[in-house]
Structures are given as structure tokens and as C-alpha cells.
Chains A and B, each alone.
Chain A
């Protein structure tokens, strides 16, 4: 079945599931917990492993290459002209900033949200997938969470829907694949003008724009495990207002093998390069305050509970 047919079949299936689940008795699970796949562990977008240097220099160039290989979205001629113009302006503006080191504009506080669909396409954040019969949560290391409701509820009613950076997601399981439909996605100022959803990436040199979407865009994802260490996301992006046909792209995720748990990416932490006289400066965070003495002292002869050998040998 082609990706396009998959997307439309999935959209139809969402309605079928919604209708079927409307008759579920209270407390009854939509599907048995044992019938849905388990994808434990941590995952990262293929090619988006950050380099120790920061700035995603090497990894982001690899990610950009993969995104460029999709080719441009099938824009209508009018939308294509606008995209080309924005992409050119972004390229020139970011090139200027990166060449000169000048700040584009002062920013009140750091912003670290990627939002959907960037989280699934080029974010450098690792994530976990917690699946239950009624909801699947995709939890990212900088504390962004996608909530995908699989209990048969419909989308928020159009008259009540307002765009957010994660959008409004519902889904269902088709065998071993999780199918997610997301609407009501807003852009984030960090990535583009408000209301416009942009995907792209920057290295040390340039910001490259890959696509712009409107708040009316609908996204259908089909996520499945292709081998024990890889997930695949077939994403179909639908917006008849600016696309001549659905845009189909595929992204893969790799298992993180260097860690066995999430680590908080405290992206909202201290600003380590404040803007001074219009230029970035480097300001390492201050040293931590002196450590306080432990509130509880071990009594003489106590077993050190932090020492597994001592615990093992206790009487």
C-alpha cells in the first residue's frame, strides 16, 4: 500500500475506532495492554546525535542532508514563491548573524521548545515512548510531551480548537503500528513567525529552511519498529490550501545505547552568553554555592546504604 493510501486509510480508521469506542463500557480498556507493542528505552532522531562541541555542528549537517533529500513540499505555485522568498531571507539573515557574531535581537529569556513536527524530524532531544491502551506519551528530555489519545475520543471540536506547539493528537494502533493524527499545530517564535510552522536546522554557518506549514496543516504519522534498535515514522502532511498533494516523508529513530534512562536537558537554565552591546559574550555559569553539611549523620556502625557491597554483606 502506498504511503498516500496508508494516510487516507489511517484517517478513515481513526473515525472507525472513534465510533467503535463510543460504545465501550466505563472502565473497559480499548485494547488489552498486552496487545500493544512495547518500545522501551530512549530514542533519538537518526543523525541528530549532538557532538560534544555543541551547536550540533556535525550532526545537524547530517540531519539537514537527510531532510533536503525529501525534496521541497509540493507547494502550489503561489505558496512556493512565498517559501522561496522566506528561505532566501532566512539564509541571508542567518548568514549575516553567523558571519559577524551580531545578535539578531535581544531576547528576554532562553526558549528551548521545538514543538511538533520538529520534535519528530530534527530535534536533538532524546525521548521515551510510554504506551498504554488509552494514551501514548512521547516524553522529550527538555520536558516537552506529546499526548496521543488512543481511547477513541475525537479531536477537540473545531470551534474550541486553538493552535499549540504540540497540536491536538489522537491515534490508534494498527497491529504493531501507532497511527497518530495531529491538527491545530502552531509555529513557535523561535523557529519562525508566529502561526507558521517551520522545520529546518542550523549549523555554525547557516539556518536552512526546509518547509513552512500553516496552522491548518494535518499530520498523519505511522510509527512502527523496523528492528529492535530502530523505529520508523512515515509522516504524511496534508494541507490542500498550500499543497497540491499530501507530502510524504520518512524519519527513523535509533535506540540510545550510551544511557539507560532519561537525563533532564535543562534548556531553560542560565543564559551563558548574554548579549552585550549587540554582540554575544561568553559568561560561564557561576560556581555552585558551597555544599551544605548533610542533614543526617550516619550513626557509628551504620551500614552505608549507598554501598551495594556493604548491603550484600550485612548480617
Chain B
């Protein structure tokens, strides 16, 4: 190690200080930002699933619902995570289907439009949606030296 090399590396770090904040600020941008939702607010929607859109990069629940505060029934778009992540959490493309009556808790859009980020949900029987999680019993996936 030399003083020169130390200085060069430190200079590299320094040169990036300004850029790093900007770039990190965009770390969650493109389709991975949830900044348009207000994480401080929760809204409960009661309604009927119009479509369960199992699609990349993120899954959507299209819902005909009211917000329980006297609002008329209207279309809502509820965003979830990706199919891969949902599948790992035990969800399947058939977990919801059109016509299912559900109650969803969401973080609403900041701009007041009818959309939000999925927080939790229950079906007509009151059970959490996706709770019929079945572990894969596949001994072939176990380690075997």
C-alpha cells in the first residue's frame, strides 16, 4: 500500500459523493418505486375482484370497490410485488379470480387517484388471502451429498 494509492482511492470515493446521492435516490425508481404510495396512510376497500393480473414485473388486483366511507363503487388498481416473489410467499395465479369478494387494506396513492399498494387482504370467509400456503414436499430438492 502506498500513500498515492490510498489517495487515489479516497479521491475516487470523493468524486462520487455528489453523484452517489443522486443515483441512490433513483435506486428505487423505474418500476420499483413505491414512492407514489403514502406509507403513512391505510385505506380499507371492500369489493369484488374484476381481474387478478398475474403479470411481470408486478401483479395487480383490479377491484370494483368502495372505500367504506360512503364512496360509490369504482375501479381501483392495487399493486403487489412480482409473480416470483408472490409464488415464494405461497400465492398462485389462481389465488384470486374475477368475482371473488374481498376486503383489501392498501397504502393509497398520494395524488388521490384510485390506486394503492397492497398491504393485506381477506376473503369472504375472513381468512387472509394467500394463507392456503402449501409447502412443497419434494424430497428430491433436499441436499444429498
The range of chain A's interface size is 35 or more
CB pair B57–A53 under 8 Å, yes or no, is: no
CB pair B33–A50 under 8 Å, yes or no, is: no
User: Closest residue to A240 on the B side, CB-wise?
Assistant: B1
Inter-chain contact total with CB atoms closer than 8 Å: 268
- A314 contacts partner chain B, Cβ-Cβ < 8 Å: no
- A119 contacts partner chain B, Cβ-Cβ < 8 Å: no
CB-contact partner of B84 in A57, A126, A271, under 8 A: A126
Interface string of A90-111 (1 = CB under 8 A from B): 1011101110111111010111
CA distance A228 to B145 in the complex (A): 10
Q: How far in angstroms is the closest Cβ of chain B from A268? A: 8
CB-contact partner of B81 in A39, A42, A54, A228, under 8 A: A54
Q: How far in angstroms is the closest Cβ of chain B from A50? A: 4
- B98 contacts partner chain A, Cβ-Cβ < 8 Å: no
CB pair B21–A93 under 8 Å, yes or no, is: yes
CA distance A246 to B107 in the complex (A): 43
- A214 contacts partner chain B, Cβ-Cβ < 8 Å: yes
- B94 contacts partner chain A, Cβ-Cβ < 8 Å: no
Asked, given contacts A104-B25, A242-B13, A258-B90, whether A54 binds B33 with beta carbons under 8 Å apart, the answer is: no
CA distance A193 to B80 in the complex (A): 29
Q: How far in angstroms is the closest Cβ of chain A from B11? A: 10
Q: How far in angstroms is the closest Cβ of chain A from B123? A: 14
CB pair B20–A192 under 8 Å, yes or no, is: yes
CA distance A281 to B142 in the complex (A): 43
Residues of B within 8 A of A214 (CB): 9, 12-13
- A29 contacts partner chain B, Cβ-Cβ < 8 Å: no
CB-contact partner of A266 in B22, B56, B141, under 8 A: B56
CB pair A202–B136 under 8 Å, yes or no, is: no
CB pair A103–B6 under 8 Å, yes or no, is: no
CB pair B35–A53 under 8 Å, yes or no, is: no
CB pair A242–B10 under 8 Å, yes or no, is: yes
CB-contact partner of B109 in A89, A124, A282, under 8 A: A282
Q: How far in angstroms is the closest Cβ of chain B from A34? A: 9
CB pair A52–B27 under 8 Å, yes or no, is: no
CA distance A90 to B77 in the complex (A): 31
User: Closest residue to A88 on the B side, CB-wise?
Assistant: B21
CB pair B17–A86 under 8 Å, yes or no, is: yes
CA distance A260 to B87 in the complex (A): 11
CA distance A76 to B34 in the complex (A): 36
Interface string of A151-175 (1 = CB under 8 A from B): 0000000000000000000000000
CB-contact partner of B20 in A38, A89, A257, under 8 A: A89
Residues of B within 8 A of A281 (CB): 36, 111
Asked, given contacts A124-B85, A126-B88, whether A93 binds B25 with beta carbons under 8 Å apart, the answer is: yes
In the complex, given contacts A90-B20, A104-B22, A214-B9, what are 14 additional A-B residue pairs having Cβ atoms less than 8 angstroms apart?
Answer: A40-B142, A50-B81, A97-B35, A98-B35, A101-B35, A110-B57, A125-B84, A194-B16, A194-B19, A200-B24, A205-B39, A215-B12, A264-B84, A272-B57
Across the A-B interface, give the 6 residue pairs with the lowest CB-CB distance, nearest first. A54-B81, A193-B16, A104-B25, A266-B56, A110-B30, A50-B85
- Footprint of B on A, CB under 8 Å? 37-42, 44, 49-55, 57, 76, 78-79, 82-83, 85-86, 89-90, 92-94, 96-98, 100-105, 107, 109-112, 124-126, 141, 176, 189-196, 198, 200, 202, 204-205, 207, 209, 212, 214-216, 225, 228, 239-242, 255-260, 263-273, 275, 279-282, 284-285, 287-288
A-B contact pairs, 20 of them (CB 8 A): A41-B142, A51-B81, A53-B118, A55-B32, A79-B13, A82-B13, A89-B21, A103-B33, A110-B32, A111-B30, A124-B85, A126-B84, A193-B20, A196-B20, A204-B34, A209-B24, A255-B141, A260-B138, A260-B141, A282-B115
